[in-house]
């Protein structure tokens, strides 16, 4: 079943890429942004994943607590949350940091991230960035 939140995210233009420690570069084919302040209130979301829908997806979802988020080396949990998906399984990322900002008037955001992700019981460092702009206005 697709969540209300998932129905609301819009296809985005821009870049999203990351690299697992010692691994190759990953560039998710599907990129999504949700930056609409109207009812119902859904906070900003940036997502990069390898599948068109959420079934068996691999990638990251960044959820922010406000539309005016910005900062340098902000720790996970201080104004944003990150989920890592691996073949449909979800793990909340609990350590790492992000640098960048949301430009709500342009419906865009640009961020560099350095995260510690649990992959099969082992912590792995993931570094990457995204520069995404919402493609269309959500209804």
- pLDDT tens digits, 4-32: 555 555 589 999 999 999 889 999 999 99
pLDDT score recorded for residue 44 = 92
Ramachandran region, residue 120 (left: φ > 0; alpha: ψ -120 to 50; beta: rest): left
pLDDT at 41 over 60: yes
Mean pLDDT, residues 30-36: 88
From 50-54, 83-87, 121-125, the region with the lowest mean pLDDT: 50-54
Distance CA 90, CA 15 (A): 22
| H or E, element range at 83 | strand 80-86
pLDDT score recorded for residue 10 = 55
pLDDT score recorded for residue 1 = 37
pLDDT tens per residue, range 100-120: 999 988 999 999 999 999 988
CB 47 within 8 A of CB 64: no
DSSP state of 59: E
pLDDT tens per residue, range 54-92: 889 999 999 999 999 999 999 999 999 999 999 989 999
Question: Can you give the pTM of this predicted structure?
Answer: 0.88
pLDDT score recorded for residue 139 = 40
Is the CA virtual torsion 34, 83, 114, 129 positive or negative?
A: negative
């Amino acid at each position: 079943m697709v969540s209300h939140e998932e129905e609301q995210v819009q296809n985005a233009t821009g870049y999203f890429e990351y690299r697992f420690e010692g691994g190759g570069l990953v560039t998710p084919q599907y990129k999504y942004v949700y930056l609409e302040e109207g009812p119902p209130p859904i906070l900003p979301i940036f997502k990069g994943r390898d599948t068109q829908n959420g079934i068996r997806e691999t990638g990251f979802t960044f959820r922010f607590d406000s539309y005016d988020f910005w900062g340098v080396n902000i720790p996970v949990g201080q104004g944003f949350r990150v989920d890592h998906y691996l073949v449909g399984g979800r793990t909340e990322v609990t350590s790492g940091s992000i640098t960048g900002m949301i430009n709500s008037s342009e419906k865009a955001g640009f961020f560099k991230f350095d995260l510690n992700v649990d992959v099969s019981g082992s912590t792995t460092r993931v570094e990457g960035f995204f520069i995404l702009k919402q493609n269309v206005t959500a209804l």
